[in-house]
Amino acid sequence: MASQPAHAEPVLVVHGGGVEAVSPARRQRVRQGVIRAASLGHGVLLAGGSAVDAVEAAVAALEDDPEFNAGCGSVLTADGDVEMDASIMDGRDLGAGAVSAVRCIANPIKLARLVMDKTPHCFLTDRGAAKFAADIGVRKIPAGQLVTERNKELLLKEKQQQQGAASPGNLGTVGAVALDLKGNVAYATSTGGLVNKMTGRVGDSPCVGSGGYADNRIGAVSTTGPGEKILKVNLARLALFHVEQGKTVEEAAELALGYMNSRLKGLGGLIMVNRAGDWAAKWTSTSMPWAAVKGGKVHSGTEMGDTTVTDLC
Ligand code: GLY
Ligand code: GLY
C-alpha cells in the first residue's frame, strides 16, 4: 500500500442536499450556509484537527441551520414528527458510527460520532439510540424545536398533492468530506429524510456505503438524493470503486451518478475527495448547494455553471 502524504493540503467539501429547484432568495441563504459550514470545518483542519473532527463540525453547523433538511429544519414524517438519520466514518481505520430514526436531539451527527467512539457497535436506531443518547448525557430537546414553519407547510402541501411516492422536489440532506494535514479522510452525512415518509422509514444517509464512505486508501464521499435509490446502488462505495479503478474524482462521481440514473432513474448528488486532495461536487438533480475550501480559496455553487471562487476570510 502506498503511504499517506506526510503534509497534505487540507480540503473540506460540504453539500446541502440535492433539490429540484431553489428560489433565488433561498439560494442565497443556502449558499451562505454551505460556505459557513465549509469554512468552519476547514478551520478545524488548519488548527491540526482530524478529518473526523472537521466533518462532524461542518455537518453540525448545517444541522443547526434551519435552511437545511437535517437537525433543526428536518422535513416531517407523515405523522408530523421529525425522525433523523446520520452517519460518520473515519478513513484511518474504517471506524463507523450511525444512528437512525432519532428524535428530540439537536445534532444526530454528534450522536453518530459517539456511537463510533464509545460503543462496540456501528449503528443504533430509534429507542436504543435514544437510550444511548440519554445514558451518555446528550441533551434532549422538545420535538417542536426541530420543526420549522416551512416544513409544516411542506408536509401539508405534500399531503394535498401527492398519494404514494415522495416528490423529488423536497429532497435534501447535508454532508461533508475532508482530508486533514496528516492525509486522513472522513465523511459525515445527516438528514431528516423524505417529507411525508412513513414513520420508521430509514434512508441511505445512515448506511455506510450508501450515504457515505471513507477509506484512507482511496478517499471519502457523502451523497444526497432519494434514499430508496441510493441504497440500491451503494452510491458512495460505487463512486470510490471507480477511483480505485483509476478514474479521476470527477469521472468517478459522474459514472456513479450516471449508473443510478440509467439503472433506476435516480437523480442525486455527491461530494468527494481522494487521498491526493482532488475533490469534486457533482449532481444530476437540478441543484445542489455545495462549498469547498482548499489552499486559501472557497469554491461554491448551487446550480450548473454558477460556481464562484473567493479568497478564504
Ligand atoms: N432526502 C433526500 C436527499 O438526500 O436529498
Ligand atoms: N438521502 C436521504 C434520504 O433519502 O433519506
* The pLDDT of residue 279 is above 60: yes
* Ligand 1 close to Cβ of residue 18 (< 6 A): yes
34-61 tens-digit pLDDT: 999 999 999 999 999 999 999 999 999 9
Annotated binding site for substrate: 201-204, 224-227
- What's the whole-number average pLDDT of the chain? 93
* Closest ligand 2 atom number to CA of residue 192: 5
Smallest CA-to-CA distance from 100 within 117, 82, 83 is with: 83
Q: State if residue 173 touches ligand 1 by the CB under 6 angstroms criterion.
A: yes
pTM of the model: 0.94
Ligand 2, atom nearest to 197 Cα: 5
CA distance 195 to 170: 7
How buried is residue 313: exposed, middle or buried, by Cβ count under 10 Å (0-12/13-18/19+)?
exposed
Ligand 2 pocket, residue 205 CB under 6 Å: yes
CATH of span 11-305: 3.60.20.30
Q: Name beta bridge partners: 300.
A: 291, 308
Our answer on whether the CB atom of 289 is closer than 6 Å to any ligand 1 atom is: no
Q: Where along the chain do its domains lie?
A: 11-305
**Distance from residue 17's CA to the centre of ligand 1 (Å):** 6
Q: Is the pLDDT of residue 81 over 90?
A: yes
